[in-house]
Chains A and B, each alone.
Chain A
């Protein structure tokens, strides 16, 4: 076993690490969390400790998922990740948010592993870290570059964000994107980043529910909408608004055609807005190919993601996805034609 000079990684008992994980010093918290993640992997796989961050370097020998769920107890992001409340293999919690984060991140791991052979977000067995109960009535969920964080919602616009499998799948896919194309989070590359997160979020849900493309609802965030809004969801892959003239949300701003692309600066150049254009293209591909969307459209999009780069724009996406369909299914195949037609239908 290699020896790391950091004493935190060596002999401190779990209860001490747990306490340190709640330290007010973010550096102490980070070191403690790395040690806890390392310890969890050791118990499962007996892999020798790496001197580098556990979350990015240690591969589970049996390609098994490793999940850690934390509770921020309604404190702000400076307290991330919070208190460890459920580790891989632990029994269910009495807290539904904890169980949802655990179950949905596990489903997302299984999706990527079984369909694409991908061992976690980094394809190296990266530990999946989730924090629930972030902030007070926090109407959001995010990926901070290393972990997921979920708010409880204000009970009016939104309810707890862990309730939705496609939301969890979306956030985890941001991790996959960061370890593949690593699309910059602005303008068209950022819209593609959001697009892939939505695509694989919705595919995880359809895969789990065994839904055909023609039977799925193609909605994002349906389960987290609160009683104060009439919106059916936050986004839809279909060519219709997810919500219209809602007193709390307004009207869905997503375009579904290139001619209506948002050109302003809000939302980092419309990353959550212009994702509507490639989202609709994916829907058209999935419907044209029929059956289960994760069988053909899924691999075309996954392999496209792996071929793109940080500054890839919509034109690159059109070209690469069409080429990928040809590579996977043949030049002139029905699959290639479906992809080409879908892009044409949304204005390319």
Chain B
């Protein structure tokens, strides 16, 4: 049984546009509908698992190191079980994580460069 979700931090960089966008979401601060959707997507992504657990990346695209203009996704999920951090890109994004990324992208705003 996945542990209770506390917070998700998301940052997207790279891509053709080179934009830096992200968000930090706490389920408790969301409306009921949004909270349920976020919790469901996080659960279905498999990222909220046992402590230290994280999904293996999906099948890597051929020649990932040769790719140009792919987007990079940094996801940090904090739950009662601990913190899971993954870094994925367009060529190794697992199908079950893609809906969560789409949700986080929808809630993202421009972020300052660090």
Binds A, one of B9-17, B24-32, B33-41: B9-17
Binds B, one of A11-19, A87-95, A109-117, A136-144: A136-144
Q: How far does the Cβ of A86 sit from chain B's closest Cβ, in whole Å?
A: 22
Confirm or deny: B44 has a beta carbon within 8 angstroms of a beta carbon on chain A: no
Contact, CB under 8 Å: A267 / B20: yes
**A76-B93, A77-B93, A144-B91 are known contacts. Are A185 and B68 too (CB-CB below 8 A)?**
yes
Task: Map CB proximity to B onto A311-334 as digits: 1 under 8 Å, 0 otherwise.
Answer: 000000000000000000000000
A-side contacts of B66, CB under 8 Å:
144-146, 178
Confirm or deny: A250 has a beta carbon within 8 angstroms of a beta carbon on chain B: yes
Contact, CB under 8 Å: A221 / B62: no
A167 and B113 CA atoms in complex are apart in Å by 24
Contact, CB under 8 Å: A171 / B62: no
A221 and B19 CA atoms in complex are apart in Å by 13
Contact, CB under 8 Å: B58 / A78: yes
Contact partner of A140 (CB less than 8 A), chosen from B15, B20, B59, B64, is: B15
Contact, CB under 8 Å: B63 / A144: yes
Contact, CB under 8 Å: B13 / A249: no
Contact partner of A141 (CB less than 8 A), chosen from B69, B91, B105, is: B69
**A78-B59, A137-B102, A145-B66 are known contacts. Are A273 and B18 too (CB-CB below 8 A)?**
yes
Within 8 A of B (CB), among A164-222: 167, 170-171, 174, 178, 185, 193-194, 197, 221
A141 and B15 CA atoms in complex are apart in Å by 7
B-side contacts of A262, CB under 8 Å:
113
Contact partner of A193 (CB less than 8 A), chosen from B18, B20, B68, B90, is: B68
Confirm or deny: B55 has a beta carbon within 8 angstroms of a beta carbon on chain A: no
Confirm or deny: B52 has a beta carbon within 8 angstroms of a beta carbon on chain A: no
Confirm or deny: A248 has a beta carbon within 8 angstroms of a beta carbon on chain B: yes
**A78-B95, A193-B68 are known contacts. Are A221 and B16 too (CB-CB below 8 A)?**
yes
B-side contacts of A77, CB under 8 Å:
61, 90-91, 93
A80 and B110 CA atoms in complex are apart in Å by 29
B-side contacts of A249, CB under 8 Å:
17, 19, 110
A-side contacts of B13, CB under 8 Å:
266-267
A-side contacts of B86, CB under 8 Å:
none
Q: Which residue of B lies closest to A268 (CB)?
A: B14
B-side contacts of A106, CB under 8 Å:
none
A-side contacts of B1, CB under 8 Å:
none
A251 and B21 CA atoms in complex are apart in Å by 12
Q: Which residue of B lies closest to A158 (CB)?
A: B17
Confirm or deny: A232 has a beta carbon within 8 angstroms of a beta carbon on chain B: no
B-side contacts of A143, CB under 8 Å:
67-69
A-side contacts of B68, CB under 8 Å:
142-143, 145, 171, 174, 185, 193, 197
Contact partner of A146 (CB less than 8 A), chosen from B63, B69, B95, is: B63
Task: Map CB proximity to B onto A54-92 as digits: 1 under 8 Å, 0 otherwise.
Answer: 000000000000000000000011101000000000000
Contact, CB under 8 Å: A142 / B90: yes
Confirm or deny: B98 has a beta carbon within 8 angstroms of a beta carbon on chain A: yes
Contact, CB under 8 Å: B14 / A272: yes
A266 and B109 CA atoms in complex are apart in Å by 16
A143 and B14 CA atoms in complex are apart in Å by 13
Q: How far does the Cβ of B69 sit from chain A's closest Cβ, in whole Å?
A: 4
Of B15, B17, B90, the most chain A CB neighbours within 10 A belong to: B17
22 contacts between A and B (CB under 8 A): A26-B59, A78-B58, A139-B15, A139-B105, A140-B70, A140-B90, A142-B16, A144-B61, A144-B62, A144-B64, A144-B91, A145-B62, A145-B67, A146-B63, A146-B66, A178-B66, A234-B16, A249-B19, A250-B19, A253-B18, A267-B18, A272-B16
5 closest A-B pairs (Cβ-Cβ)? Answer: A272-B18, A145-B66, A250-B110, A145-B63, A142-B69
11 extra A-B contacts, CB within 8 A, seeds A140-B70, A142-B15, A234-B18: A76-B98, A78-B59, A137-B102, A140-B15, A142-B71, A145-B62, A145-B66, A250-B20, A250-B112, A265-B114, A272-B17
